[in-house]
Amino acid sequence: MNFLILNSLIILVTASCSIFQTKRISSDLNKEIQNVCLDSYGAGRIIINKHKYVFRFDTALSMKDHKWIMGLNFPIYGEEVFEFDWDNDGTLKYTASFEKRILQDKSGVDPEKLETFLKKWSELINEVIQLQYTKNYKAKYDWKLTSKHLEATSKVDASNTVKIVFQNKTSKGHFGRFDIVLQSNKHEDNFKLEMIVRECLEKTD
């Protein structure tokens, strides 16, 4: 196994299992959504049809430019980018530089399902942004809070549901991990993003 991949996996597992001293989550969505860190860096992986793409990442939010950008550094492929921007009317536009590479690398990946996953990824992060920054914003996803995690779900179609889960609330107050899953009615996680936040940065604007 490539040393960099192995090192990233060790970091991911270690961070999720031992570094975070987790805090309880309250039942106040407006309060807890502020603990989602949108300017950060860490490690993560994308799982597509059980094939894992491990990466390091850094993210940045610009409210002035209406843009959220995520740089992903893959050990084999190098740096890729996922970003989206939104208009005042709520229209979202996303770009994923690694989308074509995944379709080329893995035969059998449904292009429409991959596109749905990436689209929902941008919608879910945008939902968090709007809840954090827009007064009286009405959530489009169904949010649920427990003492251990914060999650939002939405029906994609008759066969699929998308979900985002925030957990491992650290001693510093931010969530240390979040996952985005596109799940079938058979509970098959064919598309999943897992991110471990190593450091939450100060907001840039």
Q: 40 with 58: CB under 8 angstroms? A: yes
Query: Lowest-pLDDT range, 57-61, 88-92, 94-98, 121-125?
Result: 88-92
Q: How far apart are CA 129 and CA 92, in angstroms?
A: 13
| Digit-coded pLDDT (tens) for 141-160 | 999 999 999 999 999 988 89
Among all chains, which residue has been given the structure tokens 């001693």? 171
Q: 106 with 49: CB under 8 angstroms? A: yes
Kindly indicate whether the domain formed by 24-200 is annotated with CATH number 2.30.30.
no
What 3-state class would DSSP assign to 44?
strand
The answer on pLDDT for 106 being more than 60 is yes
- Please state the domain extents for the chain: 24-200
Query: Lowest-pLDDT range, 15-29, 94-108, 173-187?
Result: 15-29
- pTM, two decimals, is 0.85
* Rounded to 5°, angle at Cα 201 from 82 and 28: 90
Q: Which of 73, 70, 113, 75 is nearest to 95 (CA)?
A: 70
Structure tokens at 32: 């807890």
